[in-house]
Amino acid sequence: MLSSLLLVVLTQVACSPGEMSVVCSCKQGMVSACVSLAGDDARRAAQVLDEVQEVLEQASWKAGEEEKKQQLEAAAESLSQSLGSFEPPQCKGQNHHLISRLIARALEEHPTLKGLYKPRDSRFVSRAKDEQSHCGYQEWHRKVDEEVVRWLKSKPNATPKEFMDKLRDIYSRPEMKARFPNGF
């Protein structure tokens, strides 16, 4: 019952006072509206993405509702890509912060990168494919952090681009792609 109610609320919502019509259109599954919303108001787009994903997770779909489900999935995917996360909305693992506290401390001591990044920087988050792929501060996570810290110490003149390239290199490895299907 609750899932049906959520589906009705999000797919049949009328614009509330002060809410842009593009928000309502995106909630109803219009991909172009989602892309527009992400460009205009990323924070609100992220909220709508969360709402749409919640409906997709909780709804029990009945016969004849496949089209609405596909519209919502398309809306979620377009919001996700427009917001820059480029990860499938169906990922259920933990959010993984590429800039851990350990890496952030090393960055604060770095001659050229100091002040550019903060611990658990929201710009650098990826979602694990499932709970087994990332749950807490596992051994693989500690090893990655140690590798990045060693790299930072060995590259005192590293540029932000070089640092991003290093992170992309790590997260494009097969073992990391298995944990984070769309890397970084």
Which tens digit of pLDDT belongs to each residue from 117-140?
A: 888 777 888 888 887 777 777 788
125 pairs with which residues across the strands?
Answer: 97
- Please give the residue that has the higher pLDDT: either 125 or 11: 125
Determine, yes or no, domain membership for 88: no
Comparing 38-47, 132-141, 153-162, which segment has the lowest mean pLDDT?
A: 38-47
Closest CA to 79 of 116, 121, 32: 32
Measured CA angle at 3 (ends 2, 9), to 5 deg: 90
| 106 domain residue, yes or no | yes
Residue 6 confidence (pLDDT) above 60: no
Residues 134, 158 within the same domain? yes
Helices (H) and strands (E) in the chain, counts: 9, 2
Residues 77 and 107 in one domain: no
pLDDT at 166 over 90: yes
Same domain flag for 99 and 174: yes
What pLDDT score was predicted for residue 82? 59
Do 103 and 130 belong to one domain? yes
Residue 7 included in any domain: yes
User: In a 10 Å sphere around its CB, with 0-12 CB exposed, 13-18 middle and 19+ buried, how is residue 78 labelled?
Assistant: buried
For residue range 73-121, list pLDDT tens digits in order: 777 666 665 555 444 455 566 788 889 888 999 999 999 999 998 887 7
Q: What is this structure's pTM?
A: 0.51
Domain count, the chain: 2
Distance (Å) of CA 133 to CA 18, 29, 53, 180 = 41, 30, 20, 8
Tell me which of 82, 103, 137 is where a domain ends: 82
Same-domain status, 45 and 102? no
Residue 22 domain boundaries: 2-82
